[in-house]
Amino acid sequence: MEAREIATNRLSRRRFLYGAAALAAAACAPAASPSPSASGPVVLKGTKVQLLHWTSFVPDEDKWFKETLVNDWAKPNGVDLTVELVSANEAQPKIVAALQAGGGPDVMLLQWTWSHLYADKLADVSDIAEKVGSDGGGFYDAMKQNAQVQGTWRAVPFGMLGNAIHYRDSLLKDAGATKFPETWSELTKVGADVKAKSKLFLGQAIGHSFGDPPTFVQPFLWSYGGSETDESGKKLAVNSAATKDALVAFKDLFSKAADPQVLSWDDSANNRSYAAKQIWATLNGASIYLTAVKDAPDLAKDTKLALLPSGPKGQFLLAVPFQYAVPKYVKDPGPARELISYIMAPKNYGSFMKAGKGYTLAPYKKGEGDLWPSTDATFDPFRKIGTLTKWYGYPAPPSTAAAESGSKYILVDMFAKVAQGDTPESAMSWAEGELKRVYKL
Amino acid sequence: MRAEAREHAIAARPPLSIGEVLDRQGVLAYVLLFPGLLILTVFIAYPFVTSLWLAVTDQSVSTSGARFIGLENFIGELGSQIFQQTVRNTLVYTAVTVVFKLVLGIALAVLMNQSFRLKNLARAALLLPWIVPTALSAIAWLWLFDATFSVFNWLLVHSGLTTRGINWLGEGGWAMTAIIIANVWRGTPFFAITILAGLQTVDRELLEAASVDGASTWQRFWRITLPLVRPVLLIVLLFSTIWTISDFQLVYVLTRGGPANSTHLLGTLAYDVAVRAGQLSEGAAISLYMFPVLIVCVVALLLYLRRSSTT
């Protein structure tokens, strides 16, 4: 009797251990498996999904999310989809608050290299990203760099805002030029001529705003061979002869062709000024042109688009990239993942591009081919942006430090200081001091 | 036997009603204090202690855990040129705006203390800048200072005073001037109304007696009115210093700290570093640099209030 009791006890202890092991395995299973969908079909009916998106400068894009997406995906699948739109400059505070609090949107639209900044708190979405990339003819290199952190996709590339210089062709020709300048030094000369003739200036924002300032100054720096760090990202390179050349050239361009008021501009100020015919050229997403086509046909007719000029080291671009991320705090990521897969499928993405008339460019190569939404030849320069664009921190791979430096606008401020009258040496030295703290070098 | 009877009496006593419990002063005091203490704990003490903890760690948005690093964040900030510039900006902004608000506030209060038609309407209108939400009024100022569409610039150019407009928000010095103007506009009504309340407590007989003795208007103001409203002035000054040094909304809407950080205040820089750049601990350390100045103001205020209540 006693022996049997002991045997029963041993058995129950063993059973307990088995049970505990099974429970632990079950608890670990979702973490071990990157794809809940792999374990079976996702149940969508009756679920709620909150999507945090940016408010586009082209309202038809917002409409696509608020109406088409809701009608074509959410309603048929029985999903209660909430699309929350916030301005691009206000997205980051919302995202940080949600990640810190461990609750909020199920899908969030990240900008730039934020996937690297928040990598620890974002779920692995490699399976979705790989499929989307493959279906879309392959992601552009910059899109992959922005979303992939140490080999793991922490976000799925959504698209990019390509920037091109919008200029008034008639004013350019009045100043004696036959075509838009192909180098920065030519632009300085032509810009000065147009300013002298028309009294209008080259309106380039150099303030703390998410789009236009960084997409101008970073390619400008790269085109003269300058950069924040070397290719390894382990050694600062900003205080260099190449950066000095860039800053000297920028000072020349700024003083001859621009105007100091641009130092206070955000991303919408140049749109307003161009529409009010206060400037003759500006770097911007296609929203200026698309708005003019709709509201000011005479201005649209006179507007042409050109990619940024080249420097001694070539032509560089920096499009504003967006990515979809699913935070780790989302308990049932299945519907969120399904939503991303749906939006990014080429057929649906084509419908979105058509609605936005190509303002947001696809992150994959089909976007410049089969899905290209415009028959307007003026728009053609945008087709090349995907292949030419780089990323924050280039030529090093994207990193947390590069993302932080971008969020602190250190390079933008270095250029702004020169525009305000600082010497290139002093501005470079200032930037180096701040970057040392960011890169902890 | 007597003890037994007492026990019976106690056992027989009915339980106290809520009303009887609340009748006890000690209990009522804690009940009344509880909501206030709860609000203080949740909305002030907890965030403050959290920011103290954050400031001595290496917590960032990109990491899940935090490591204690002592005063490293505080020392590190001292080496940052942006931080040094921000401290200078904060001091200049606070000093200049508080002086202007004080002078204009006194002038307005003296004016409003006179008898004239529609006096009450004028007093109510005076409060408008103070009542309007700061973010809204800041947007109105943003348009007034807009680089392309500024009303001020239009007036300057069309009146022939200048050939081209002022670069209000695009040049460091002018941007600081612009945020100072907006802050003074918003803060002066607080000074004016509070000082006006103080002026109305000044005994008119004193002023009339001085007038009979031959004191001029200036002498009556300087020797009688001002000393009598001094307690109010001190309190208003201290409150305004605290609010101005920790200002955020106005500057954030108007300049976002630009151009090139020339209008960053400690509040806006802390926000940019903590929220935009994701360095929560650095941001907390920057905001805590305000603390010594604020604590001096608060202690001075408390000492003054205690002294005036005992006298």
Tell whether the model's pLDDT for residue A5 goes beyond 90: no
Instruction: Check if the beta carbon of residue A90 is closer than 8 Å to that of residue A111.
Output: no
> What's the confidence (pLDDT) of residue A22?
43
Tell whether the model's pLDDT for residue A97 goes beyond 50: yes
Partner residue opposite B260 with nearest CB, options A120, A121, A420: A420
Tell whether the model's pLDDT for residue A124 goes beyond 80: yes
Least confident of A4-13, B134-143, B150-159, B236-245: A4-13
Tell me the mean pLDDT in the region A143-168: 95
Task: Tell me the per-residue pLDDT of A274-303, one tens digit each, with 9 for 90 and over.
Answer: 998 989 999 998 889 988 998 999 999 999
Instruction: Check if the beta carbon of residue B198 is closer than 8 Å to that of residue B232.
Output: yes
Tell me the mean pLDDT in the region A145-153: 94
Tell me the mean pLDDT in the region A33-38: 43
CB-side neighbour CA atoms (13 Å) of A58: 26
Cβ contact (<8 Å) for A261 and B148?
yes
ipTM over 0.90: no
> What's the confidence (pLDDT) of residue B2?
61
* Residue of chain A minimizing CA distance to B273: A408
* Residue of chain B minimizing CA distance to A115: B62
* Residue of chain B minimizing CA distance to A209: B256
Pairwise CA distance, residues A293 & A291, whole Å: 5
> What's the confidence (pLDDT) of residue B293?
83
B63 in reach of chain A (CB within 8 A) = yes
Instruction: State chain B's mean pLDDT as an integer.
Output: 88
Please tell me if the domain spanning A39-162+320-380 has the same topology as the one spanning A164-318+408-439: yes
> What's the confidence (pLDDT) of residue B5?
63
Least confident of A148-152, A162-166, B36-40, B256-260: B256-260
Tell me the mean pLDDT in the region A71-88: 94
- Other CB atoms within a 10 A radius of the CB of residue A90 amount to 12
Instruction: Check if the beta carbon of residue A306 is closer than 8 Å to that of residue A177.
Output: no
Please report the domains of chain B, with CATH numbers, ordered by start residue: 16-46 (no CATH), 75-310 (1.10.3720.10)
Highest-pLDDT range among A151-155, B153-157, B213-217: A151-155
| Surface of B (142-161) touching A: CB under 8 A | 146-149
Percent of chain A with pLDDT over 90: 71
Is A383 in a helix, a strand, or coil?
Answer: helix
Kindly report the pTM of this predicted structure.
Answer: 0.79
- Report the gap between the CA of A231 and the closest CA in chain B (Å): 22
Task: Tell me the per-residue pLDDT of B55-88, one tens digit each, with 9 for 90 and over.
Answer: 999 988 877 778 899 999 999 899 888 999 999 9
Tell whether the model's pLDDT for residue A214 goes beyond 50: yes
> What's the confidence (pLDDT) of residue A210?
82
Partner residue opposite A264 with nearest CB, options B61, B147, B272: B147
| Surface of B (230-259) touching A: CB under 8 A | 255-259
Mutate to test the interface with A, among B261, B279, B282 (most CBs of A within 10 A): B261
The ranges assigned to domains in chain A are 39-162+320-380, 164-318+408-439
> What's the confidence (pLDDT) of residue A52?
96
- Report the gap between the CA of B262 and the closest CA in chain A (Å): 10
Instruction: Check if the beta carbon of residue A108 is closer than 8 Å to that of residue A324.
Output: yes
Partner residue opposite B258 with nearest CB, options A264, A272, A408: A264
> What's the confidence (pLDDT) of residue B22?
78
Q: Which residues of A387-423 are buried (b: 16+ CB within 10 A; e: fewer)?
A: ebbbbbbbebbbbbbbbbbbbbbbbbbbbbbbbbebe
Cα R_g (chain A), whole angstroms? 25
Task: Tell me the per-residue pLDDT of A392-419, one tens digit each, with 9 for 90 and over.
Answer: 999 999 988 998 898 889 999 999 999 9
Tell whether the model's pLDDT for residue A23 goes beyond 70: no
Encoding tokens for residue A405? 């430096």
Characterize the bridge pairing of strands A48-54 and A80-86.
parallel
* Residue of chain B minimizing CA distance to A404: B277
Pairwise CA distance, residues A410 & A415, whole Å: 9
* Residue of chain B minimizing CA distance to A277: B148
- What class, spelled out in words, does domain A164-318+408-439 have in CATH? alpha beta
- Other CB atoms within a 10 A radius of the CB of residue A345 amount to 15
Mutate to test the interface with B, among A264, A277, A407, A422 (most CBs of B within 10 A): A264
Q: Which residues of B fall within a CB distance of 8 Å from A93? A: 275-276
pLDDT tier, A1 (very low <50, low <70, confident <90, very high otherwise)? very low
**A39-162+320-380 to CATH, choices 3.40.50.300, 3.10.28.10, 3.40.190.10, 2.60.40.3710:** 3.40.190.10
Tell whether the model's pLDDT for residue A153 goes beyond 70: yes
Task: Tell me the per-residue pLDDT of B77-127, one tens digit each, with 9 for 90 and over.
Answer: 998 889 999 999 999 999 999 999 999 999 999 999 888 888 888 888 888
Tell whether the model's pLDDT for residue A18 goes beyond 60: no
- Report the gap between the CA of B287 and the closest CA in chain A (Å): 17
| Surface of B (107-126) touching A: CB under 8 A | none
